[in-house]
Amino acid sequence: MSSLFISDLHLHAGAPAVSEQARRLLDEFAPRFQNLFILGDFVEYWLGDDAADGSLSDVFDALKNLSASGTRIFLMHGNRDFLLGEGFADSIGATLVSDDQYLIDDEGLRILLLHGDTLCTDDTAYQALRVMLRDPEWQADFLSKSIGERLAAANQLRETSREKTLEKSAAIMDVNQQSVEAALRDSGTHLMIHGHTHRPQTHRFELDGKTASRVVLGDWNANGAFIATLENAEITLQHWPAGEEAV
């Protein structure tokens, strides 16, 4: 089956041009594929299914229309939108992928899908924060607060994250190669697709005597993003709309 892979749209009210690019992709390009996989950070932040951003309704409607037309949509959590719930997924006709990793067999290929933050194991401070944010008790307590309280807490977390990011080297925020290889071995495959790092590229390396590939998706801006397609058993990293070439 043909599949389309995107991630890191980071949609929010302050970036209408990005939302428009996303809507165009969903209306004009995605319908040719049987599957759409959104590999995390679909939105900049998510305060709960009861606090959906109304400014993104055009994108949500485009997802509903895409699902109704027959394309299956799979929505994975990222580090920004880990509170996306079944209710929202159902409302747009998507399947919520709550696991950190998702293994698919498509076009004769076995592919490991993930957001990518779990591979950045050199960033121990982030990994510790991630454990807290993914804890069911922490999430239940957060979602029990008013929307205003949640927004204030989310803004504080984002500001702290920005400050910490400025203190970190670029290398520490990229994936750890040993973690990549371990994830592939555990999944019994030599192919993965992920986002998170905003460093679109196809990396090839040797793993246990065979060539392995790690396809990294790009983050979105007003000009679109690097996405991946799977057609005729071939994965292609490309810019949408066309105009830039991937390496």
pLDDT of 244 reads 57
Four-residue CA torsion sign, 183, 201, 29, 118 = positive
Mean pLDDT split into 10-residue runs, the chain, 247 residues: 96 96 97 98 97 96 98 98 98 97 93 98 95 97 97 90 77 93 98 98 98 98 96 96 62
Q: In what order do the strands lie in the sheet with 101-106?
A: 101-106, 109-114, 191-194, 210-216, 201-207
Angle of helix 147-167 relative to helix 136-143, nearest 10 degrees, comes to 130
What's the CA gap between 216 and 237, in Å, rounded?
Answer: 8
DSSP letter string, 119-174: G-TT-HHHHHHHHHHT-HHHHHHHHTS-HHHHHHHHHHHHHHHHHHHHHS-TGGGS
What's the CA gap between 221 and 10, in Å, rounded?
Answer: 9
pLDDT of 164 reads 78
CA Rg, the chain, in Å? 18
- Please name which of 35, 33, 37, 44 lies closest in space to residue 8, comparing C-alpha atoms: 44
What's the CA gap between 97 and 182, in Å, rounded?
Answer: 21
Question: Would you state the structure tokens that stand for residue 245, as one six-digit string?
Answer: 């070439």
38 bridge partner residues:
6, 75
Strand-pair category, 109-114 with 101-106: antiparallel
Question: Would you state the structure tokens that stand for residue 27, as one six-digit string?
Answer: 């209306």
pLDDT of 243 reads 62
Where are the chain's structural domains? 3-240
pLDDT of 247 reads 47
Class of domain 3-240: alpha beta
- Whether the link from the prior residue into 136 is cis, omega within 30° of 0, is no
